[in-house]
Structure 1
């Protein structure tokens, strides 16, 4: 064996000998979920270093004493959540990961929120016995907590969970927010609330600036990239809608023929197919999902189900009703909204809305079937999306949009 080959062989053997130790050291490094769970085994409260100023060690110990006095299995996790992190920026994922790594069966978990950094989320297992979800959500809507810091907000959430009437407190807080202000307050509120044209104008200017910058830096036009991205979203949503319609049809086919909601489910299935065949963009495809939801509710014979989120049905089913005043009108309507959109609307922030191909909120498109129905939120008295599609409202709406 040549001297060079011997040296290479010796180096390879040395590297192989190092591999097990290297692998072991890598596997010894705990994941973020394990690190948080390990900390919670020794304390009621985990606070990430980035929040150490807002919730210093002395305040953490105080929170731990407050939790201890409740006698409840409450754990608190205050950590930033961003897309791409170990939890993909989702508080629900964080909660599930931490719960899976803790030994106790009964657990109440209070965490930071991935969408609104100044909000908290509440979770309880095996059941929401202490109304934890509503109690924690209510803490952020109380007048006394308007300028509270993260530590004070967490303390209030713990207090409301211990009281056990979180749903009542939440509904009272929401009722206070929905109460109509006096004329002077209304004028001030309406002048400070950004109207959709103003939001659209700012967004258009920002988008224009981005497009110009992108054209300067790259040969590929930014407008083409934007169009391609929206087309990709539309293609993915179309595939999802097709799968949902097929699944609804299968569920209806295997349902007992005497089931009370079968006829309505079949009507929703037929309407979803009609809309899917004629769908020309995201709002129509979202309508397919709304019709599928209507059909599934019929099969389950769900009493008074909330429709999909009015502001953006792609957010999923609405969790609450919120009072909303359409642009340019004095009257208000009650619409279903997902939790983030409820929070945005009630604190005078603009919810993330579904737009058409021209970046116009769907509910501002003249003659739109979806603007008239709000994906179910604006229907009253037993009316349904399926019934309106069956009588031709959707196809007339499409013609109106084209006109």
Structure 2
């Protein structure tokens, strides 16, 4: 009798192990990223860098004849350095995970450029906020807006002024779309290769973005299912004055283009429910 029980236990253990291994292999296969997918997300990052370079050229023209202080010059140089660094970094990308670093550099440059414009126009320095959720090419967001994806529940997302106005007016925001096969889709529906791309912009938001991407192809990535611990993020580039790990979302501006005093977004709970 004891021998029969022992055999039964062994059989159950073997079956359970096989089931576990099969599940692990299936999960690994789902998260495998092809070379073509890496090239796709790399091309997307390269397009963002090109767009940023064009905006830097426009900024250069806007500054002609204006009296720039030391702060504006430093911020402008930081933006230029970010542009060059991002170009070098994207050229070296061979794996999807490496895109995260490229986007973090670009995010820092976008904020630096926003600081230049503020200083030149005599305005307060902008808060260090995440990029516009709908289209990161729009630069840092300026406010949160209540938005619902098609068939989903409303939730707060960071948005640029133009997209925030579109959403409030009941119009469609200007969504960043990328090629997946023969069609263009929102970047958050483009598959696991775009998880590091999103992490580079929103990693510091942790649980907020987990809720944001639930129901999309990136949901599992922000829930910790493939590209490390997204809940902690490194937020906002490579440091600078006041560096910090989180986007500043308080009452004070973030200081020079290094990022503010931390806090804010990184502490968000992220209870958004399913899409």
- TM-score strictly above 0.5: no
> What is the TM-score of this pair, normalised by structure 2?
0.41
Structure having the higher helix fraction is: 1
> What is the TM-score of this pair, normalised by structure 1?
0.30
Structure showing greater radius of gyration is: 1
